[in-house]
Structure 1
Amino acid sequence: MKISGILARDAQTYKKLVHAVLDYAREKDLACVKWESWTDEPWLDELAEHTGFRPLPTPRCTTDGSAPSPPFGYVHWLHPARYLRTAHYQQSENFTCAAVAALAAHGETSGIETMDRLRTAELLLWRQATNFMACEPLGLGLAIAERWPASSVQVSLDTDKPVIVDYYPEVERSWRGILQAESRRRAEATGLPVTSTRMEISQIHEAVNQGDQVLLLVSLQQMLGYDVPHWILCHGTAGSAEHPVILIEDSWVDVSSAESWVDATCLPITFQELDAMSCLEEDGYRAALILTE
């Protein structure tokens, strides 16, 4: 649940409204309540802290800033949460989600000092991994292994057919399949771990709960209503025993759907929703990369 704005006659009413939202969220056994703040007022910070909210890291964005975006955000976890606390970075191009997810997993969306260098890193990693325009799992795994050789990456892909090709006309599929076959050959030659066993959502939950991170290929159909392949980072767990959730970092912010970076960072997704989101194309394959330090 997200508080996107509050109108109240005085500070006391403001406080009652926030408590009412939290009470409602607890009744529904939700994982958290987020709060978008559009004004820089010290008393709002005090109210947020007093009611159990904690500030979200200041986001980083290389876009032109023409779309309205809240400068501040807070989160109140209603159950214990374990996740990667990183500044949200909105992908600078509509095709660089895989690169941003990998950079976020390695702390570089927060760690790279200047926005120019961050965008350069985003584009260079995308170029290294891409199958034009999308990044397929094996090529992405190879690029990550080369970019961060000290880290461990394992690819889970339960099909040996070319992937992310149904989105293109028939005449544009064969050459992408050839490139993916070359990625598979390179993976075998370099010893990149690749498993054909389908990774279940419960296994993703277990992996991130143990400190690993998972890059997961999903379709935006469930989230935004259009079937476009998209890489997200699964990096945490939260929720109750009855309603566990996996926390993701989503570098795509759909302003037309009233989304903001407050939604997209440490976003809770239920097992059922994540399972439906990550069945791709007609074959219903699942593609995931498990990153271990």
Structure 2
Amino acid sequence: MSQHAAPHVTVQDFDPQRHPQLLRHLGPALGPWERETGAANARLLTIVSPGGTITGAALITARSTGAYVKIAGILALDAPTGEETIRGVLNYAYQQDLACVKWEHWTHDPSLATLAEQTGFQALPAPRYAMDASASIPLAGYVHWLHPARYLRTSHYQQSENFTCAAVAALAAHGETTSIAALDDLRTSELLLWRQATNFMACEPIGLGLAVAERWPDSSVTVSLDTDKPVIVDYYPEAERSWRGILQAESRRQAETTGLPLTTTRLEIVKIREAVSNGARVLLLVSLQQMLGYDIPHWVLCHGTAGSTENPVLVLDDSWVNSDSGETWVDVTCLPIPIQELDEMSCLEADGYRSALILTA
């Protein structure tokens, strides 16, 4: 067990077999306390009285590599101890030099909403789902930034299919995951954009750039890809790679014909942060190995900056929610990732190429 801040605040790894029973005097440990959280780096922060009794507890989790902690559940003997517990989490996050603390609410409890406001949390926009959510979801989410943050405040939209991450990232970059009112229309836009850009099943960067340029002709898109070989093909059997390469060669030909800007020098991570700081949105291709434990190519939207001088972060929106590890939409909206971590996870396949789309108004 490690000690943080004051002697009466303790933080330790969460044991789902033991801790809910240990905390039952605080109330029923239901909902998030019962979920499978082993892959979500779950920890338990407790407030302990001078007599050794636990008077408050917070279940805190985070996606691997994320520069944040999320309060998934809170139990306390009384309201003042509940506030003390929240402030204990904030202090713990400060000491870890994290970018923010998030808090998900599983009930419509006005007192919790009031407490969130009193402790400096801001409400996150409500999420949107074109399909029925596969698991129970928090009713509200909040964020407390510990350092100045600039980012796009948009409703999180969970991709409706396993393969439509690029389309959702592009729609989110243009604010359309919020502005398209009807969910049926939003899902239609998601699928049509994916179909236009896909290299089956993934979206390769040049084809995606062509689709984005056609979909939003008033905005500027530049494709950055530091290899001339077919990409996102190592994940397929050898027999299925050649025809994808032919389609990607056709995308290059179309890019040359239409004048789509394409840079072939490596886009350094500091340049991505600089572009985002100047108002650009960047669609970045990453591997999910470091964040979720499986090497699958995945498009995310980089849309903000935060963090301290010593630990700068890029703020992402990820349309994939790994509910099996206890994640919810609160984790993946305005998700802060340290730039050094993002630098590593955006080196793809054996060649270690980097691919991104820089979008400007």
TM-score range, shorter chain: over 0.9
Q: 1:202 aligns with which of 270, 275, 278?
A: 270
In the alignment, what sits opposite 1:227?
295
- Post-superposition Cα deviations, 1:265-291, rounded to whole Å, max 9, x if no partner, equal 000000111011100000000000000
Work out which structure has the larger RCO, using CA pairs closer than 8 Å and 6 or more positions apart in sequence: 1
In the alignment, what sits opposite 1:140?
208
- Post-superposition Cα deviations, 1:142-192, rounded to whole Å, max 9, x if no partner, equal 000000000000000000000000000111000000000000000000000
Question: 3-state DSSP class of the match of 1:281?
Answer: coil
Separation (CA, whole Å) in 2 of partners of 1:71 and 1:201: 35
Separation (CA, whole Å) in 1 of partners of 2:277 and 2:79: 39
Residue type of the alignment partner of 2:349:
E
Question: 3-state DSSP class of the match of 1:86?
Answer: coil
In the alignment, what sits opposite 2:167?
99
Separation (CA, whole Å) in 2 of partners of 1:66 and 1:151: 35
Is 1:268 aligned to residue 268 of structure 2? no
Report the alpha carbon displacement of residue 62 of structure 1 after superposing the two structures with TM: 1.9
Q: 2:128 aligns with which of 60, 78, 88?
A: 60
Bigger Rg over Cα: 2
Report the alpha carbon displacement of residue 65 of structure 1 after superposing the two structures with TM: 2.3
Is 1:6 aligned to residue 6 of structure 2? no
Mind listing any 5+ residue stretches in structure 1 that lack a counterpart?
none
Question: 3-state DSSP class of the match of 2:74?
Answer: coil
User: TM-score w.r.t. structure 2 length?
Assistant: 0.81
Report the alpha carbon displacement of residue 9 of structure 1 after superposing the two structures with TM: 1.1
Separation (CA, whole Å) in 2 of partners of 1:248 and 1:28: 20
Separation (CA, whole Å) in 2 of partners of 1:136 and 1:285: 13
Mind listing any 5+ residue stretches in structure 2 that lack a counterpart?
1-68
Is 1:166 aligned to residue 234 of structure 2? yes
Separation (CA, whole Å) in 2 of partners of 1:54 and 1:95: 32
In the alignment, what sits opposite 1:50?
118
Q: 1:254 aligns with which of 306, 317, 322?
A: 322
Corresponding pairs, count = 293
Is 1:183 aligned to residue 183 of structure 2? no
Question: 3-state DSSP class of the match of 1:187?
Answer: helix
Q: After the TM superposition, which segments of 4 or more aligned residues of structure 1 sit over 2 Å from their partners?
A: none
Separation (CA, whole Å) in 1 of partners of 2:315 and 2:242: 36
Q: 1:245 aligns with which of 299, 307, 313?
A: 313
Separation (CA, whole Å) in 2 of partners of 1:43 and 1:15: 11
Separation (CA, whole Å) in 2 of partners of 1:43 and 1:114: 32
Is 1:29 aligned to residue 97 of structure 2? yes
Residue type of the alignment partner of 1:21:
V
Report the alpha carbon displacement of residue 28 of structure 1 after superposing the two structures with TM: 1.3
- Post-superposition Cα deviations, 1:39-83, rounded to whole Å, max 9, x if no partner, equal 101111110000000000000012322401111000000010000
Separation (CA, whole Å) in 1 of partners of 2:292 and 2:177: 24
Separation (CA, whole Å) in 1 of partners of 2:284 and 2:253: 22
State the identity %: 73
Is 1:74 aligned to residue 142 of structure 2? yes
Q: 2:190 aligns with which of 94, 117, 122?
A: 122
- Pairwise CA RMSD: 0.6
Question: 3-state DSSP class of the match of 2:75?
Answer: coil
Separation (CA, whole Å) in 1 of partners of 2:70 and 2:312: 18
Residue type of the alignment partner of 1:280:
L
- Post-superposition Cα deviations, 1:199-241, rounded to whole Å, max 9, x if no partner, equal 1110111010110010000011111111111000000000111
